A and B are shown apart, each in its own frame.
Chain A
Amino acid sequence: MARARKMTRVVRGKRPMFFDDITEDLSVSMIMVLAQELSVLRARLDAVEGATLAKGLLSETEIAEFADREDTLANGEKARQDLFSRLFYLVHQQAAEATGGDTSTRYADVIADITKT
């Protein structure tokens, strides 16, 4: 049996918080862990499906070996990068708004403008 928790998980050096409200930092960290677990689930399923297709019969090692094949690894990397671009859609929206000058003032102006004209 593996020994549980030989190594520490705590980092020394006060952790900086980045958002205006600490609960946001906490939430984002939890969301990222959930996203990570989703990715784990996907990897596991990919391996099972791939092995099923390729072999017909399954064993624990067959599945693990299949997951470690170069084409499975490459598909996994693509899937993760695709997941990230969906996950961070709002982050990218922020960049586009900031650089494109799309502000709430402009939005209000449009309302006012449309109402008037």
Chain B
Amino acid sequence: MPLDGNNNFQQTLHPMLPKPSLEEAERQSFAKSLRGYIQKAILPDLEPVYQARAAKRFEKETGHSPRDRHEIRKTMVKEPYFQAYAALNRIAQELLWLSVIESIDRQYDQLSATAKSLANKVGSYKVDRAFTPPNYVTALDIHCMPGGYAQNTGDDIEFAAGALYDRGVYLYSMGYGGPFNDDKGRSVVNYIKRNLKEFAPKTILDMGCAIGHSTLPYKELFPDAKVFAIDVTEPLVTYAHLRAAGLGVDITYEQRNAEDTGYPDASFDLVVSHILLHETSGKALPRVLKECHRLLKPGGYMIHADLPPFANMTEFMRFILDNETYYNAEPFWGAMREMNLVDLSAKAGFPKDKIMMTTAPMAIREFAGRAKGYDSGIVDQLAKREFKAGEFAPGAGWEVLIAQKETA
């Protein structure tokens, strides 16, 4: 039964996922539902309030209406309704992470023992304690995850930051990504299967895989392919491996930098990433594209799923989206959306007529009936809804950059 936009989507457990107690589960649901409420009931009035009050005030003070997202911000930060929205949004984010940290700390020893029993059981992983993650990953705790992607808890098998990410991101995305939070990977694979029919990659690389949410669908839907996935921090790569091992999926996870992976030229048929680019930097992003070109075999494809660019958006939408830059420790979020990824791909060596930006439809409908809470009525409502800037995930799909390397 549809619940007026409410959802009680539940993440599917696997051996490495911290299992919340009744109280922890409720604290986590509270944070997830609070996000849902803010997006459903507080966000929609921001623009009307802006038009009715903040824009007029700005005009009175300066003699002109706000010209860009920065001027909109200037006046909105003084608007009590916006203050309440932004404060609640930030607090929801803080409560979300804290509610998961609590749960991991309580089960730490048990999870650590599970990690030992799962390591190298299925697939493999390689980490290197001498490896330094790039500054843009460690300078701030991205999306306010306490300790960041590289937090070290001093364990032989560093898993904790990965566990925090696994559960936290599921709550952050309010379950829209499905019971395994694999919607982004699934959407891109679906896109390939529907639009690049002849293409059957045998070697696949997933860059910036975090804990492998998006990686697993590649192995599921291309079972004969050898799937590699890389990230820059030890706990993420380690946990990604443990999670896949617990789920019985054969992936090779390695701690490597997407700017300079160290793999030989022409190693892969397909190189993908999912919400990696907006967490890199102005200098790193073009390097990642160049590296993709180098790594691809002739005729191979590079596909990056990320956030829609600012072009073709209203200034107010840009302002809303840019909140993440300022209030959620996403330093490259706004700047990345101003970059022209098509031009940069051409500069990276891809033939101009083989580059495009398009939408890979969300796979949300496929989750109906697959796990607790994924009721077909609610899933349907979600798939059909109109997207508002500031909501999690676009309604229609993921923005993808696709480029094919020249054939030999």
Contacts and interface: CB of A to CB of B under 8 A. Distances in A.
A94 B151 CA distance: 41
Interface in B55-95: 77, 79-81, 83-88, 90-92, 94-95
Contact of A7 (B81, B84, B95, B164): B164
Contact of B94 (A29, A35, A44): A29
A62 to B, nearest CB: 12
Interface in A79-112: 80-81, 84-85, 88, 91-92, 94-95, 98-99, 101
A77 B27 contact: no
A12 B148 contact: yes
B109 interface: yes
Interface string A11-49: 111011011100001001100110110011001100100
A10 interface: yes
Contact of B101 (A9, A40, A47, A101): A9
Chain A's interface: helix, strand, loop or mixed, by majority?
helix
Contacts of A50: none
B7 interface: yes
A13 to B, nearest CB: 4
Contacts of A36: 27, 30-31, 95, 99
A6 B373 CA distance: 32
Contact of B34 (A40, A73, A84): A84
Contacts of B45: 92, 95, 99
Q: Size range of the interface on B? A: 35 or more
B329 interface: yes
Contact of B160 (A7, A33, A63, A67): A7
A81 B6 contact: yes
A32 B26 contact: no
A16 B326 contact: yes
Interface in B302-335: 326-327, 329
Contact of A39 (B26, B83, B97, B326): B26
Interface stretch (B36-44, B290-298, B340-348, B383-391): B36-44
A116 interface: no
Interface string B5-44: 0111010000000000111011101110110110001100
B22 A44 contact: yes
A85 B151 CA distance: 37
A113 interface: no
A8 interface: yes
B48 A95 contact: yes
Contacts of B88: 28, 32, 88, 91
A64 B4 CA distance: 27
Contacts of A57: none
Given A7-B101, A73-B8, A98 B48 contact: yes
Given A94-B81, A101-B52, A12 B109 contact: no
A11 B26 contact: no
Contacts of B160: 6-7
B201 interface: no
Given A10-B146, A70-B373, A78-B6, A44 B23 contact: yes
A3 B42 contact: no
Given A11-B141, A33-B95, A85-B37, A74 B87 contact: no
B109 to A, nearest CB: 6
B261 to A, nearest CB: 27
A4 interface: yes
Interface of A: 2-13, 15-16, 18-20, 25, 28-29, 32-33, 35-36, 39-40, 43-44, 47, 63-64, 67-68, 70, 73-74, 76-78, 80-81, 84-85, 88, 91-92, 94-95, 98-99, 101
